[in-house]
Amino acid sequence: MVSLKSFIAEVLDSSQEAEKTAPAGPVAGSGPQIPEGARLIPREEHAISRRQISEPALQVLNGLHRAGYQAYLVGGSVRDLLLGREPKDFDVCTDARPEEVRKLFRRNARLIGRRFILAHVQIGREIIEVATFRGDGGTASGSAERSATGRILSDNVYGSFQEDARRRDFTANALY
């Protein structure tokens, strides 16, 4: 079994080699738009199969894609799939705002959270957590809504894929 640390090192090394030969930006007609700075790992280079992803998670991803949004599996489920384990749940990150996710999935979606609003999409017995890409302008710039005591009440600062990736720590949370 490959350790996560060695896998990440291998991906980073191959990413640097691919940057030298790959065209800049997404290629038209080649599938989903890949954000600048991201690298799509070809199927032959990883062991993840769509059959390993739950049907409800695929329905959420495909529904968002059909509606014109970016959507990616993120976090622990990606880590577990890379390590050959069965994920306990699936989280999705998208450029759709929570209200747009609720509108798209209607009765199956509800919004949760106080500081940062998330959508829970329930399909059958499974709940898929859908988060909007977060920007890096929130609490750092002081633009977050605060109470009189300074407690953050709301920091719904939405951003791009790149901002969301930069904001995440370098752990399983940063795996897309």
129-145 pLDDT tens trace: 999 988 866 444 445 56
Q: Is residue 79 part of a domain?
A: yes
Taken as a whole, the chain contains a residue count of 176
Q: Number of structural domains, the chain? A: 1
**Residues 61-120: tens digit of each pLDDT:** 999 999 999 999 988 898 889 888 999 999 999 999 999 999 999 999 999 987 788 999
Q: Is residue 19 part of a domain?
A: no
Q: Is residue 77 part of a domain?
A: yes
Task: Please report the DSSP string for 113-142 in residue order.
Answer: -SSS-EEEEEETTEEEEEEEPBPS-TGGGT
Question: Would residue 91 show up in a list of annotated catalytic residues for this protein?
Answer: yes
Instruction: Give the pLDDT score at 167.
Output: 72
Instruction: Give the pLDDT score at 41.
Output: 80
**Residues 5-49: tens digit of each pLDDT:** 566 566 555 544 444 444 333 333 444 566 666 677 888 888 888
Task: Determine which one of 13, 80, 91, 136 is catalytic.
Answer: 91
Task: Determine which one of 13, 80, 164, 169 is catalytic.
Answer: 169
More confident: 2 or 126: 126
- Domain containing residue 132: 55-137+152-172
Q: Is residue 124 part of a domain?
A: yes
Chain centre to alpha carbon of residue 83: 18
CATH assignment of the domain containing 65:
3.30.460.10
Question: Would residue 169 show up in a list of annotated catalytic residues for this protein?
Answer: yes
Q: Is residue 5 part of a domain?
A: no
Q: Is residue 39 part of a domain?
A: no
Q: Is residue 46 part of a domain?
A: no
Question: Would residue 164 show up in a list of annotated catalytic residues for this protein?
Answer: no
Instruction: Give the pLDDT score at 65.
Output: 95
Give yes or no for a contact between 147 and 169, defined as CB atoms under 8 angstroms apart: no
